[in-house]
Amino acid sequence: MTSPLVRPPIILASRSPRRLELLVEAGYPVRVVYPAESAEDGALPGEEPFEMVARLAYQKAADVATRVPSGLIVGCDTVVECGGQILGKPDDENHARQILKELRGRRHRVLSGLCLWEKARRVAPLTRVAETLLEMDRLSDEQIEEYLASGKWEGKAGAFGYQDRLGWVRILEGSESNVVGLPMELLEEMILEVQGGRMK
């Protein structure tokens, strides 16, 4: 029988308002500590997308761990991958346009690395990766321009926000919260693992 989840206070090592919203909505007490920008550097040569998000989630948690005395730190990093190409957050509207044209009519994956670092305990941090498969409609140039004009693409991996209920992106397999920015199901599994280890 699985132990019930006790929602512990979380130190969120992220600048994402969507991750904070997801945690608060789920009933977690949350304190946000921004990781250093150097902890959020992009891909290394030859690095696979799942390796990159796991590394960046770990780096964010590790950076914040140097600045807090105790607590359960959660680091997360999310990218969109399509045809082997990593599509992060767009730099500007032009870049967002390129990303959406790359994704339209195609299947793609949202990958999130998640790291749990319990500072007070001398145990290795847990790091896992969640994957969600999606498909985007074959958008017309006009639809893309209309979405770009809304500004909703800003700050979002893959240049779109699934939480905006766009109607032209569908989840085929995996977690919806992962697409929004934090895989809540995986987080709960990892917290149970940490809590179980504490009780041994």
The mean predicted confidence, pLDDT, of the chain is: 90
If pLDDT is split at 50, 70 and 90, which confidence band does 196 have?
A: confident
Enclosing H/E stretch for 143: helix 141-150
pLDDT tens readout for residues 67-112:
999 999 999 999 889 988 888 889 999 999 999 999 999 999 999 9
- In the chain, the percentage of residues whose pLDDT exceeds 90 is 67
pLDDT at 138: 94
Q: How many helices (H) and strands (E) does the chain have?
A: 6, 7
pLDDT at 160: 86
The pTM (predicted TM-score) of the whole model is 0.86
Question: What average pLDDT does this structure show over 119-132?
Answer: 90
pLDDT tens readout for residues 143-172:
999 999 999 899 888 888 877 767 888 999
pLDDT at 67: 94
The 3-state DSSP class for residue 59 equals helix
Question: What average pLDDT does this structure show over 17-21?
Answer: 93
User: Is the pLDDT reported for residue 200 higher than 70?
Assistant: no
Enclosing H/E stretch for 187: helix 184-199
Catalytic residue list? 77
8 Å CB contact between 21 and 3: no
pLDDT at 163: 72
pLDDT tens readout for residues 37-76:
888 877 788 889 999 999 999 999 999 999 999 999 999 9
Question: What average pLDDT does this structure show over 25-38?
Answer: 95
Which domains are seen in the chain, by residue range? 10-199 (3.90.950.10)
Q: Quote the tokens at residue 198.
A: 């504490």
pLDDT at 32: 98
As a whole number of Å, the CA-based R_g of the chain is 17
CA 117 to chain centre: 16
If pLDDT is split at 50, 70 and 90, which confidence band does 1 have?
A: very low
Higher pLDDT, 181 or 1: 181
